[in-house]
Amino acid sequence: MSTREEVYVAINEERDYQDMKWGAIDEHSHEVGSWLTIMRYLLGKAESAYTTAHGDSASLDEIRQLVAVGVACMEQHGPIKREKIDLVAMRGSL
């Protein structure tokens, strides 16, 4: 198992790679729907890798790319923050 910090490092490295490959967000901006289409394509690749490869590494490679594309979308269009919630009350209801 990895830490959240390790996961975020991998996502940040992927975003850096994507910017080097495709250019900065302002050089290749997309509508939200276009970002979703790219993410769906990468999800399909992750699912295909899961069903054809031995082990999880090929799928996880695609998932890293997928998540980084989602980050790029939020970089361009802005994140929507979750409303503050009462975690104690939420945990009590589970």
78 and 65 Cβ atoms separated by less than 8 Å: no
Summarised one tens digit per residue, pLDDT across range 9-63 is 999 999 999 999 999 999 989 999 999 999 999 999 999 999 999 899 999 999 9
pLDDT (0 to 100) of residue 86: 76
Of the candidates 26, 40, 8, the one whose C-alpha atom is nearest the C-alpha of residue 72 is 26
- Count of domains for the chain: 1
Dmax (CA) of the chain: 47
Residue from 23, 66, 25, 72 nearest 42 by CA: 66
Check whether 75 has a pLDDT greater than 80: yes
pLDDT band with cut points at 50, 70 and 90 for residue 85? confident
| Contact (CB, 8 A) for 73 and 25 | no
Domain that holds residue 46: 4-93
Cβ count within 10 A of residue 65: 20
